[in-house]
Chain A
Amino acid sequence: MTETAFSFPSTYNFPPFFTPQPNTNTRHDQLKKWAALIQAWCRHHRQQRLALIDAVESPLFHNAALRKRLDLREARAIVDWMAKTEEEGGGGGRAEWIDAGRTVAWIWWRQPAEWADLLAEWIESTGQKGVVFTVYELLEGEGTGSQEFHGMDPEVMLRSLNILVKRGKAQVFGAEGQEGVKFF
């Protein structure tokens, strides 16, 4: 993929965007926009993991032109909100904390189930049913270079494959670190 500059939404340049809003409705809109921004950012950089400590120094949370930044606490609050399902009034499970200390989180700009769908669709459309791949091959192989899952986090890939296993569309075998997968 070519590295193009990430284009920020207009609200990113809106100074109050960096202040937690006390009004419930405004706050909800604010969280929604932050969630969208974080997902877009991660997708642009093709990353699933977001380490907040690093992120607060990155342009994502730090608007150098405005000299405004989101502090760690507020960033956590946004990821917390993203992690909640929509029924809980959250962002629809678009994030998940990786560690108990809430410093690193999965950002599900595409959830594992969605990745699984994408994989199954790729297998289907390329007629590779019954073919055996190694996980490494899926992630880094020549044949997947044009696919979105190319180069994704192996942990996310395994979680997606496991979802396919549960659906009965794949089988994972082999030792840890050297898994192979067979699609049906």
Chain B
Amino acid sequence: MFFKALDLTTALRPSLLPDEILLFVQDAVGLYEGKFKIPDYQNGHAYLTSHRVCYVAAEEPRKFSVGIDLKEIDRAEYQSKAGFLKSSPKVTLYPKPQKNKTDKSRSATASPGISQSPRLGNSLSPLPRTSTPQKSPSPKPASATWICPICSFSNPVPSNFDPATATAATHLPPCLACGIKPPFTTVLKASISAATSRDSPLPTGALREDNPVQFNGQAQTLQPGGSVSCPRCTFVNHPSLVECEMCGAPLLSGSSNAGIRADSPAPFFEQSRITNTEVSESIKLSFRAGGEKVFHERLKGALIQRKWLLQDAPPVPPPSQATSSPSLQIPTALESPPPAPRPSGVGIAGLERRGFETRKNNELVIGNSFEDLEALMASAKQIVALAETLARESGMATNGHSTEANAVLSESAAALGMVTTKDMLTSGSENLYLSELSRNLAEYLTDDSQGILHREGGIMSLIDLWAVFNRSRNGVELVSPSDFQKAAELWEKLKLPVRLRRFKSGLLVVQRYDWSDERTLGQLQDWMEELRRVPPEDPLPWDWSLFGRAVTAQEAAQRFKWSVGVAAEELEMAEDRGIVCREAGIEGLRFWRNYISDSVEMPLGWGGGGEGESWAV
């Protein structure tokens, strides 16, 4: 498993691969390599996508950001607030064993069809290899307990139980309280989880001696009275007890775990640049502001779904095969004609037959997709493609304008994966939602493939943007206007390449950060100059080479590809600066170059009586 360099978008988020979908975002996350904190990677955003786990630091994101491919992750473990002292919950990611080293486990994970126990055993086996050398040679801890599913009593796992070799046939002792024999998997799971949580040294004497520093740390975490709180039931025990009086859980284990992290920050990982370094043991994400549960849940889901496999999946099985195949394999309709020998159709009958086949195919796609929601999720790609083609077709039928609108709409469906929705975030993290939305918007606006801002002449009103943006979400997870405005107001703070600007009238517009009034004024002045140079088609009652011609907001909107509202505001801004002046007439409001202020009138000549008043230009 390698740390990989990340490409960041303009909004400083990881740029996603094609087909990659953002699943979850959480801020205030720190990174650990094994037990060690990685310096400079202690406060950032964790992005979970369908393909990767990414970390982007809050400070200097371009320098400190890193990603790990999910396909290299063997499994993820969730560790809640361990011990009784404060430690942020963590999610641990274990790398997949290297191919050349453990071929056996590799083959086991690759073929999930066989019985469960050997797979679990195998996936566990690389652990001793990757752990630190001081570790006990046996992964089997003495203090593992399993919870009886009948009476919920905590039983110790029998000392001769080895998860690596145990099978369902292994004899298991019954529950000590109710006497019911436990299911094999319960004991196995308990044993494995105990083994993995003992990555940190075990508190039992033999193991502890080779790690004196941590032992000292553990001693200090005793409570003032010398008593020890039970990690499981929190009962405060006498310090000399080894097991909890109430529930029988091992005491020192919990307190030593907690002590290591809580008392002093974990030692730092030596390397400052971690890009492209191999992860030897495991990666921990420390969630200092919550969100770990959802992260873990979605990570597990992503590991099960294995979307990265789909990327190279063979395309488009023909419909004849699709009918017999399960719902997950769905052809993208319309594009590839079935290769099966077709009855040679000529003329209208042939066309109609082909149309019929296409419809049948589409029906199949839609039908399969809606069979259940999981299947819909899996075939989202095909459905989007289908929706796009349908939208294009319907667009073709009507005039060109709506074609363009539909194209925008369907193309923006491709951006669906880029969009942060509220349910990607845990409730209460309103600020995170807003900042993510803000970044989303910035990406959406600066995305060259869509060129939203460019098409609008570099400036568009916030309301227009809101409408277009919500349309691009295809009717789900719509953004409320207030959230939208708040997110837009964050652009400045987050140093994103777009800005929100308020015109005098209160109209809010979105423009690039390097857009300035001066630039607009320059453009307008150039235009006015141009109007003075170009002779008008019809004779005008005024001197056009002196005054030029009047322009309306509509003309300005057309020329600069602004919306009319924006054009009116920009013209009024220019008027405010004295660049243009207005003429209100029956034709409506029109703007001229400001000849009133530009021309200098000479003082009236008094000498000449009635004749020869000198008016200068």
Contacts and interface: CB of A to CB of B under 8 A. Distances in A.
A111 to B, nearest CB: 13
B613 interface: yes
Interface stretch (B187-195, B342-350, B390-398, B589-597): B589-597
A43 interface: yes
Contact of B575 (A23, A39, A148): A23
A30 B596 contact: yes
Nearest to A28: B597
Nearest to B592: A16
Interface of B: 541-543, 546-547, 550, 575-576, 578, 581-585, 590, 592, 594-597, 599, 601, 604, 609-611, 613, 615, 617
A25 to B, nearest CB: 5
Given A2-B611, A11-B595, A22-B575, 15 more contacts: A9-B601, A10-B599, A15-B542, A15-B547, A16-B582, A16-B592, A23-B576, A23-B581, A26-B594, A29-B596, A36-B601, A39-B604, A40-B613, A44-B613, A65-B542
B609 A14 contact: no
Q: Which 7 A-B pairs have the closest CB atoms?
A: A9-B615, A16-B583, A65-B541, A29-B597, A16-B581, A19-B584, A13-B542
A140 to B, nearest CB: 18
A81 interface: no
Interface in A14-62: 14-19, 21-23, 25-26, 29-30, 32-33, 36, 39-40, 43-44, 46
Contact of A19 (B546, B585, B599, B611): B585
B575 A11 contact: no
A11 to B, nearest CB: 6
A15 B583 contact: yes
B595 A14 contact: yes
Interface residues of A, number: 37
A7 interface: yes
B586 to A, nearest CB: 9
Given A13-B542, A14-B595, A15-B542, A68 B585 contact: yes
Contacts, number: 93
A178 interface: no
Contacts of A13: 541-543, 547
A10 B609 CA distance: 20
A10 B615 contact: yes
Interface string A72-110: 000000000000000000000000000000000000010
Contact of B582 (A9, A22, A44, A148): A22
A66 B617 CA distance: 19
23 contacts: A1-B609, A3-B610, A6-B613, A7-B613, A9-B615, A11-B595, A13-B541, A15-B550, A15-B585, A15-B590, A16-B583, A16-B592, A19-B583, A21-B581, A22-B575, A26-B578, A26-B594, A26-B596, A33-B596, A36-B604, A43-B610, A65-B541, A66-B541
A75 to B, nearest CB: 16
Most buried by A among B542, B546, B584: B542
A144 to B, nearest CB: 14
Nearest to A64: B541
B541 A23 contact: no
Contacts of B611: 2, 4
Contacts of B594: 26
A10 B613 contact: no
A25 B542 contact: no
Contacts of B541: 13, 65-66
Contacts of A23: 575-576, 578, 581
Nearest to B615: A9
A18 B576 contact: no
B587 to A, nearest CB: 10
A1 B610 contact: yes
Most buried by B among A9, A26, A32: A26
Contacts of A43: 604, 610
B592 to A, nearest CB: 5
B596 A14 contact: yes
Contacts of A1: 609-610
Nearest to B576: A23
B578 A25 contact: yes
B604 A66 contact: no
Contacts of B613: 6-7, 40, 44
A44 B604 CA distance: 11
A63 to B, nearest CB: 8
Nearest to B577: A23
A30 B609 CA distance: 25
A21 B582 contact: yes
A18 B406 CA distance: 47
A39 B606 CA distance: 11
B615 A26 contact: no
A2 B610 contact: yes
Contact of A10 (B584, B585, B617): B617
A129 B541 CA distance: 54
A19 B589 CA distance: 10
Contacts of B601: 9, 11, 32-33, 36
Contacts of A66: 541-542
Contacts of B590: 15
A15 B587 CA distance: 12
Contacts of B550: 15
Nearest to B595: A14
Contacts of A25: 578, 597
A22 B578 CA distance: 10
A81 to B, nearest CB: 15
A32 B599 CA distance: 12
Contacts of B596: 11, 14, 16-17, 21, 26, 29-30, 33
Contacts of A65: 541-542
B594 to A, nearest CB: 6
Contacts of A68: 585
A21 B547 CA distance: 16
A148 B609 contact: yes
Interface centre among A4, A9, A23 (most CB of B within 10 A): A23
B583 A18 contact: yes
Given A10-B617, A14-B595, A44 B547 contact: no
B607 to A, nearest CB: 11
A21 B576 CA distance: 10
